[in-house]
Chain A
């Protein structure tokens, strides 16, 4: 029963995508509105049933449906792993995903019929891919889900395929994601060569107890996949460009679900990372650096969606920091919290963009507090959760990560350094979030605002935003310990059967950094008011223009990659074109064709069409043959 339900959960969105793909040109809009979000919500119901079972029986199921490939030592079953971790992820994917797809019903309403159906087809395809990724019970299915998630991301970023920038962004995202896919595939090869297993259960059972060369290789290769999918340094440049996609896509794929797949991967592979010290620490380091770097870039962005994109990178950096230090549950709690408040922020921004006729430049907003009161309140709550203000969900989840990092016992003080970076990032987060809020919503309307009297979003868009606002407000109640040793920790307890319990206890001094983070983040949020609303302070950028330029160019990462890889590849391709393609690959077949044609032309002359000529040749030939035969007879 539950076995079938797990399969149904996986296949429902696939069926929805298939139906929409086959009927996109003829299906009425009402049917699209029903099927698109409907299959996701049905999946959510399935997940809830699995959740109830998991809470009651506390067992992890590894459902094997049939054997797919069996060849020598290679045995690949079709199996779905339904344990606490995958149910947790399915809840996020179908729950938050359902809200976002429902929101898209309103947001995409001005699209033509075919585009409308195409959009929901892609969305359902994405949900299916993501569910495959989190439910996969072996590495091959994991890779399939992993790659299909990249594919649906590509399709959705390039949804407005008539815009050059959208297509370029889609291609960039795809290429970056494929780098990650290759890392994951190579990791799977290494795992199979070492342990001769394809299923998670089999691999984890065969792992060595101590650190070693191969386990580090596997750890680093998996990390390549995780880093590319989660837009962490150094494979981060695709995420801001991915904002070319429609806003619900940004909310679903580039905030709530897909980009957190890297966190899921590290969490799912925690038996490997528990052993592989260096690759595990590298994950934490990359997360911390990304958190800081992305937050600094976020300060100077003017496109509201790009600010949110950099803050997404930054927050995923926190999650990497958490899971990289071994505080898995903390990382996953922040994943959940981030899905709530970042989807909320993106959809709030979507409401604004929708009413501003697709303008995304914050400098042209302003005055929205007066005109779009409900969206503004929701956006403010989301912003405060992003900053980490008590008692919103972001406060608890961020403090768990920072608190666990602060308290982790370590000789070299590495976790404490990570904590310091996270602390600094939290202050910067307060500042750029404040800048976004004051600039876009609070201050006077900009003189060049595209719409004088913006209207509030329709109910189908407002309801998901309000639901997420409520979740953002009450979600913190799931785990109120916030790094302290008091209060319940429901997320950690829920995930404990898979991820284990935190192996170290919080320190007694932890309230000091927590209070400092809360205070300084909040103060930074308020200080932005002085710069961007009442201009009592000179903007900091006036003092250090070179720094502003550096940040606006995103530390020249795009330019660097362009020079290192794109130009090199272009040069190699051009050289290959001149040396190999034109003379050999292109020239040789052309020459053969020309020679054949010329030979055929010559031979064709013999086909005169005169019947009697043929007969003459025929008779002459027969006569010659006869004479030859007679001669041979005569001589022998």
Chain B
């Protein structure tokens, strides 16, 4: 069995595959949520989920490769995610001011 690498977690070690598998499942959940759910708030939450899945892979590889750049990228992603959440929520609040939206499919005025 090939060595997929161990990562240092506290005092013990952990197989990197487990963490990456978790990240994969999280991302899949997020992506499926964006695709199937219609509530705009839930879609935003799912986007956050995908971003955090990506973050998890970043810090996993950072730990595995002993390279701090991955952690830095994770920090940057969090910043961007925060900004994105703010903008996304602000847009939603504005939309809700005009009308009550329960389904993003109702927001299709910009179709060609």
Once the chains are docked, how many angstroms separate the CA of A500 from the CA of B30? 104
B105 at the interface (CB under 8 A from A): yes
> Cβ of A615 and Cβ of B35 under 8 Å apart?
yes
> Cβ of A619 and Cβ of B108 under 8 Å apart?
no
B1 at the interface (CB under 8 A from A): no
Instruction: Give chain B interface residues in 62-112, CB to chain A under 8 Å.
Output: 104-105, 107-112
- Determine the chain B residues whose CB is within 8 A of the CB of A616 once the complex forms: 35
> Cβ of B112 and Cβ of A619 under 8 Å apart?
no
Instruction: Give the residue of A603, A610, A615 whose beta carbon is less than 8 angstroms from that of B34.
Output: A615
Q: Mark B22-43, 1 if CB is under 8 A from A, else 0.
A: 0000000001001110100000
The distance from the CB of B38 to the nearest CB of chain A, in whole angstroms, is: 8
- Determine the chain B residues whose CB is within 8 A of the CB of A163 once the complex forms: none
> Cβ of B104 and Cβ of A609 under 8 Å apart?
no
Q: Mark A515-558, 1 if CB is under 8 A from B, else 0.
A: 00000000000000000000000000000000000000000000
Interface size for B (C-beta < 8 A) is: 13
> Cβ of B31 and Cβ of A619 under 8 Å apart?
yes
> Cβ of B107 and Cβ of A611 under 8 Å apart?
yes
> Cβ of A610 and Cβ of B108 under 8 Å apart?
yes
- Determine the chain A residues whose CB is within 8 A of the CB of B109 once the complex forms: 609
> Cβ of A611 and Cβ of B31 under 8 Å apart?
no
Given A612-B34, A615-B34, A616-B35: A606 touches B112 (CB 8 Å cut-off): yes
The distance from the CB of B40 to the nearest CB of chain A, in whole angstroms, is: 9
- Determine the chain A residues whose CB is within 8 A of the CB of B111 once the complex forms: 607-610
Given A611-B104, A612-B104: A604 touches B35 (CB 8 Å cut-off): no
Instruction: Give the residue of A603, A604, A612 whose beta carbon is less than 8 angstroms from that of B105.
Output: A612
**How big is the A interface, by class?**
10 to 19
A73 at the interface (CB under 8 A from B): no
A560 at the interface (CB under 8 A from B): no
> Cβ of A612 and Cβ of B35 under 8 Å apart?
yes
Q: Mark A602-629, 1 if CB is under 8 A from B, else 0.
A: 0111111111100110010000000000
- Determine the chain B residues whose CB is within 8 A of the CB of A608 once the complex forms: 108, 111-112
Once the chains are docked, how many angstroms separate the CA of A603 from the CA of B36? 25
> Cβ of B110 and Cβ of A607 under 8 Å apart?
yes
Once the chains are docked, how many angstroms separate the CA of A273 from the CA of B105? 89
The distance from the CB of A621 to the nearest CB of chain B, in whole angstroms, is: 13
Once the chains are docked, how many angstroms separate the CA of A616 from the CA of B38? 13
> Cβ of A607 and Cβ of B112 under 8 Å apart?
yes
> Cβ of A605 and Cβ of B35 under 8 Å apart?
no
Once the chains are docked, how many angstroms separate the CA of A382 from the CA of B110? 82
Report which A residues bind B (CB closer than 8 A). 603-612, 615-616, 619
Beyond the given A610-B104, A612-B105, please list 15 additional residue pairs across the A-B interface where CB-CB is below 8 A.
Answer: A603-B112, A605-B112, A606-B112, A607-B110, A607-B112, A608-B111, A609-B107, A609-B109, A609-B112, A610-B108, A610-B111, A611-B108, A612-B36, A619-B31, A619-B34
